[in-house]
Amino acid sequence: MPELADLEAKLTFLNERLPGLRIDDVQLPIAFIVRMPKDEFVEAMKGNVFGQTSRRGKFLLFRLESGHVLAVNSMLAGRMQWCLPSDKRAHRTCVIMSLSDGHELRYVDFRLMGRIYLVKEGDLDTIPQFAELGPDAASPELTESVFVERLKHYSGQIKNVLTNQRFIAGIGNAYSDEILFAARINPFRKRATLSEEEMGALYRAMRDVFAWAFPIVREAMQDDIPLEEVRYFMRVHRRGGEPCPNCGNRITDITSGGRVMSYCRHCQV
């Protein structure tokens, strides 16, 4: 699943290439991903010109010269691709936009769970889930005090709270593992058992993890947007059975609800 570091790197990549490019053609091999009639979407997009791309949580927001915003919610397996027309199409390529510089911008979704919306700038809150998003995890306005105060209003296991997009937007399964490891907090801990200092440590760990991860992910996307998320550098996520980089004990992987949760039983209490 794309998370904040992945999306920030993609954002940088796309903003170095897309602004000013005209959309010469649009194909929808799997049209239901786009949440409007196919003909209306093609008519609105053809001839339009890309402006800057931004992000809110896990939504990529492509601004267009017409005043529309193309909002992409990739969900678990959606991926953007920057391709040449001659490049082989990936399985389940859903949207293909031919651009005036000769490239194609494609959307691929192996699970067909993602959704794409085209709305006017002022209508973003009409997109399902968008209005419910909490503050973005990368926002400068999300200070430690704001984070802690928001956290106090949530209950349940702390990993589930961290990945709740209503709490803060942009953190998913992989980075919640890394943040909890950096904060030395067990993912099964109930939020209510965390002290004020532990909640502050969680905030600082979040900031540190993304500051560490983003340059690595960006380096991997200098020339391309890979279909697989960049995860090779992670310290605990999907490292089950390997030695913990802190204490040397084995990292534990637990599969629950279709996702793998990773942590160190010794370091994270």
Which amino acids are annotated catalytic? 2-3, 58, 259
User: CB neighbours of 31 closer than 8 A, spacing ≥ 6?
Assistant: 38, 94
What ranges in 16-86 are assigned the alpha helix state H?
38-45
C-alpha–C-alpha distance, residues 55 and 2, integer Å:
12
Under 8 Å between Cβ of 229 and 174: yes
C-alpha–C-alpha distance, residues 137 and 167, integer Å:
9
C-alpha–C-alpha distance, residues 265 and 269, integer Å:
7
Question: Does the CA dihedral 150-154-157-160 come out positive or negative?
Answer: negative
User: CB neighbours of 196 closer than 8 A, spacing ≥ 6?
Assistant: 148
Residue 121 DSSP SS3: helix
C-alpha–C-alpha distance, residues 7 and 1, integer Å:
10
